[in-house]
Amino acid sequence: MNDLSVTKGNKTTLVCKKHGKYISETVTMNFLGTPKEIYQTCPMCEKEINELEKQIEQERAKRNAIKLWKAMNIEDKYFDSTLDDFDAYNDELRKYLYICQSFAKKPNGKLVMLGEHGNGKTHLAIGVLKLLGGVIYTAFEIGLMIRQSYGQGGKSEWEIFNELCSVPLLVIDEVEKLKDSEAKNHWMSHVIGKRYNRALPIILIANCHTQKDCKAKIKPCPKCLEYHLENDVLSRIIEDGIVMKFNSEDYREQIRKSRGL
């Protein structure tokens, strides 16, 4: 003999204090001969609770993602930047978006992004970085970390180099802002060489052009990539690198024009 029996199907009209009347399917549970009726809660209340739980979970996931992005040294400006939301508004950018999507699926060698400010280089690089994991630093930040390692506390120079040479993807932004010194390219040459030997990808971003594309009378000019990097570093970059030359108009300027500003 069963001690518990359950009967479903009875319909009852109930009143929710917040949403008014609703139809509830009554469930009758009979335990040891004692019946007890259980009513469905208001479906609108259930929906609101589910939506709230979903929102709480989304906010928790976003907080965890932001924590991860900060560890990658991604700035707040790029928290919402992905390859999926990149605005490839012309053929050039559609081509470069495709290259970045392919690189993210099969990371190999180097991507070198050259061009003026505001045409999507950093957005694309961070979109790849979020998919592969790793870090992004400006050349100045790396130089600063190395100089600070000579003092007390913090990471040692070896720990900094080991991180740069070991992360899944290394993005170096503003390469053209390397400080002039005898060893300004030494760390970059070492890092690029080590990552090459380990088959680890790297993305280099510079707000400049190549000497080949330079229109200045005296070459290399301060806007030439060759002006800032030694031949050793340049050869390592070009050896297995895909050079992407961004010639599109500043996206922010394009938005201002579309608004008639």
Helical (H) or strand (E) element with 102: helix 91-105
Tens digits of pLDDT across the chain (261 residues): 445 444 556 787 888 888 998 888 877 776 666 777 777 888 899 999 999 999 999 999 999 999 999 999 999 999 999 999 999 989 999 999 999 999 999 998 899 999 988 889 999 999 999 999 999 999 889 988 888 887 766 788 899 999 999 999 999 999 887 755 545 567 888 898 899 889 999 999 999 888 888 888 887 788 888 887 777 777 777 777 899 999 876 655 554 454 454
Q: Is the domain of 140 the same as that of 39?
A: no
Q: Is the domain of 125 the same as that of 23?
A: no
Q: Is the domain of 82 the same as that of 66?
A: no
How many domains does the chain contain in total? 2
Choose the final residue of a domain: 17, 36, 71.
71
Choose the final residue of a domain: 71, 91, 106.
71
Q: Are 109 and 242 in contact (CB under 8 A)?
A: yes
DSSP 8-state symbol, 4: E
Q: Are 117 and 253 in contact (CB under 8 A)?
A: no
Q: Are 107 and 148 in contact (CB under 8 A)?
A: no
Tell me the longest C-alpha to C-alpha distance in the chain: 101
Instruction: Give the span between the Cα atoms of 120 and 39, in whole angstroms.
Output: 56
Q: Is the domain of 154 the same as that of 60?
A: no
Q: What is the pLDDT of residue 149?
A: 82
Q: What CATH number does residue 117 fall under?
A: 3.40.50.300
pTM above 0.85, yes or no: no
Q: What is the pLDDT of residue 213?
A: 87
Q: Is the domain of 94 the same as that of 175?
A: yes
Strands 4-16 and 110-115: unpaired
Q: Is the domain of 117 the same as that of 64?
A: no
Choose the final residue of a domain: 71, 93, 112.
71
Q: Is the domain of 116 the same as that of 60?
A: no
Find out whether the peptide bond into 107 is cis, omega within 30 degrees of 0: no
Q: Is the domain of 59 the same as that of 130?
A: no
Structural domain of 127: 77-257
